[in-house]
Amino acid sequence: MKYAAIFVLCCLFTVSVQSAEPLLPVKVFILAGQSNMEGQAVVDLDGKDYNQGKGTLAMLLRDPVKSVRYKHLRNAAGRWTVRDDVWVRYQRENQPLLAGPLATGFSVYGDVHHFGPELQFGHVVGDQLENPVLIIKTAWGGKSLYQDFRPPSSGGVVGKYYTLMIAQVHAAIANREQEFPALKGRGYELAGFVWYHGWNDGVNPQTAVPEYEQNLVNLIKDVRREFKSPKLPVVIGELTGPWVQAEGGWEALRKAQAAAAARPEFSGNVVFVPTHDFVRKPEDSPNPTHGHHEFGNAETYFLVGDALGKGMISLLK
């Protein structure tokens, strides 16, 4: 009987130790914006339609100097890296859902030949966080903050894509265990919001640009209110593109993005991330005529994702 009692006590002790170590919650990040967030970077396409592969991810990895920075994106077998601790969900408009472990392919095209800022963003936060990570992309091309993403606090008609963004985030959180079985049994924490946007407001300098700063402030506050997270970390990515040195509306829009992040009420939990140094020449890019999509240059999109990720980590710390 003595030995039986000891056995029972040992079993109870084992169970109590195991139950004292719950699974870490999933850190959830929202990545929102328009076509530059959708993902236009080219992975490995070449030939005359892609400027012979210049500026693609595959070409970067052939560069003996630059390849050091990108080597984690390809494994020892020569295949594109797939992470098992970072997941991405991207519901494109009127197209099938993209959901799975972080890799190339989470772009509007739905193929492995393109990617967006989520790729390196996911690597940065995944490397820094002990928790598993879920990235929810909510991005649609050609959508303004002035109208399409217009937040409730700005007055007027709430933007269709603001409403859709909120609905998709709620759906992703509610369905996370069904869509990502590896996350079963884990709670979640909404850990951050990333806004990478600007083109459509920039081409409307008379009405959209003057309102951009306040609309962006309202967007941040409304998203926080919706998800009951008053200090939710927010990263604002500067509008990229070949018009970096442009005066007038484009310059005013960039200043508005920076000014929104600098508001005193956002001190310590909102950061503006410059991206103007990441623009590459059209002749060195796969899509030389697509300035509105950063010429499809993989280095540009990688560096944007890297900067957005590091900006987020700086807030989380």
Residue 248 has pLDDT above 50, yes or no: yes
Residue 81 has pLDDT above 70, yes or no: yes
pLDDT over 90 percentage in the chain? 87
Average pLDDT over residues 28-52: 97
Residue 37 has pLDDT above 80, yes or no: yes
| Domains delineated in the chain | 23-316 (3.40.50.1110)
What pLDDT is recorded for position 4?
46
Where does the pLDDT of residue 242 fall: very low under 50, low under 70, confident under 90, or very high at 90 and above?
A: low
The whole-model pTM stands at 0.92
What pLDDT is recorded for position 22?
86
What's the whole-number average pLDDT of the chain?
A: 92
Residue 19 has pLDDT above 70, yes or no: no
The secondary structure of the chain, three-state, reads CHHHHHHHHHHHHHHHHHHCCCCCCEEEEEEEECHHHHCCEECCCCCHHHHHHCCCHHHHCCCCCCHHHHHHHECCCCCECCCCCEEEEEECCCCCEEEEECCCCCCCCCCCCEECCHHHHHHHHHHHCCCCEEEEEEECCCCCCCCCCCCHHHCCCCCHHHHHHHHHHHHHHHCHHHHCHHHCCCCEEEEEEEEECCHHHHCCCCCHHHHHHHHHHHHHHHHHHHCCCCCCCEEEECCCCCCCCCCCHHHHHHHHHHHHHCCHHHCCCEEEECCHHHCCCHHHCCCCCCHHHHHHCHHHHHHHHHHHHHHHHHHHC
